[in-house]
Structure formats: C-alpha cells, structure tokens
Amino acid sequence: MATAWTIFLKDLRLELRTRESLSAMVIFAAAVTLLFAFAVNAAPARFQAFIPGLMWMTYFFTAVLGLLRSFGREKELDAYSLLLSAPVSRGAIYLGKAAAFFLFLLATQMISLPLFGLFLNMPLLAAPASLALIIVLTDLAIAAVGTLIAGMNLRSPAGETLLPVLLFPLLAPLLIAATRATSAALAGRPLREWDLWLMLMVTFFILFALAGTLIFDHISEQ
C-alpha cells in the first residue's frame, strides 16, 4: 500500500504542477455541456429524460481523454520501463494510478457538473446525497476499468486509438446503470427501486480492481 500511495502522490504532484489532464478534462466537459445546451434549447422539456444519459456519455469521453494522459507522461519520457524495473508490486502501481485518475475525474465533475443544472435545468439538488453516491461509485468503477485498459494498451503503437474502442464495450453496462440510477434518484424514486444499479456499480469496481491488482504484473510486460 505504501507503493500505491507513493504513485498516487507522484501523479497528484505532477498534475498540480502542470494541470495538463485536469484542465483538458474540464474544458472538454464544459464545451460538450454547452453544446448540449444550445442543441436542446428549442425544446428543453422534451430532452429532460435524456439529460442523465448525456451527462454520463460526456463523462465517459472525458474519462477517455484523461486516461490517454494517465500513462502518457511515462510513455513520452520513456520512464515506464524504469517504473516497472523498480522492486515494487505492479499491482501497487495499478492501484496508485487508478486512485489518482479517480480523483481527477471526480474533481472534473465537481467543477463541470453545475453547468448541467445551469444550462440544462438538471435538478441536481433534488437528491444530492444519492447523486453523490452514484457519481462516486461510477467513478471508482471507471477508474478501475480504465486504468487497467490504459496500462494494457501502453506498449501498443495504436494504444490511443484502441483505448476508447476497448473501453466502451466494457463500460456500457456501467454507463447504463449510472444513467438509470441517476434518472431514478433525480425523479425522487425510493432507493429500493433502483438499488440494483448501485450493486452493479459496486460489482464492477470490485471485480476490475481485483483483476487489475492481480494481472497488472502480467499485462505490463506485454
């Protein structure tokens, strides 16, 4: 765990110094939100049911943009081989990178999510605790899956192209669950009617976090 914490702090300090990933993710999410706002301005009531889905698709592509930079610095500086040669657990490297990306994605949402309420009339304050729980669980699962796939594609010449192609089929059930849960929570439906979606999110996170920790040693050598 000490190694994972060190990797997490390294990525956090580097991001605070350069702000490359976070600024790109925030700008992209804000630009897409404004695009949706202009697109649905003619008939906003008709599109209210689609807003949760649009929100999570926005954050999926935002996550892809951030994942492209997650291992990008190590690849550009040819430092990934040095990182792998360190006498530490490869699973700890995976956990540290996933934790850092989770924080970046969550920070992006905290900055950009109010735009959905401001420009698309999304009732963010209808169920703030439920919405926060959904966002945290979904982000944990996205970080677990995305970091694993990004690490797998790092040594591939077409890694940047393959990342969204491989990631979307894996995350499609999670995005559906997040959309359904968000719609139900904002509509004021009781938790017992949509807790199945929460369990799916938790299952996604646990399975892929365990898989990443166990097999990252193997895939990092490919």
Among 59, 43, 60, 27, residue whose Cα is nearest residue 120: 43
pLDDT, tens only, 19-65:
888 888 999 999 998 888 887 765 556 677 788 999 999 999 999 98
- Average pLDDT score over the chain: 84
Which pLDDT band holds residue 215 (cuts at 50, 70, 90)?
A: confident
pLDDT of residue 82: 62
More confident residue, 44 or 137: 137
Within its chain, how far is the Cα of 53 from the centroid? 15
- The model's pTM: 0.91
Asked if pLDDT for residue 222 goes beyond 80, the answer is no
Asked if pLDDT for residue 151 goes beyond 70, the answer is yes
3-state secondary structure of 222: coil
> What is the spatial distance between Cα 35 and Cα 119, in angstroms, rounded to a whole number?
10
> What is the spatial distance between Cα 201 and Cα 135, in angstroms, rounded to a whole number?
10
**DSSP character at residue 188:** T
pLDDT of residue 102: 95
More confident residue, 159 or 189: 189
Among 104, 80, 115, residue whose Cα is nearest residue 21: 104
Q: State the virtual CA torsion across 160, 97, 149, 63 in degrees, nearest 10.
A: -60
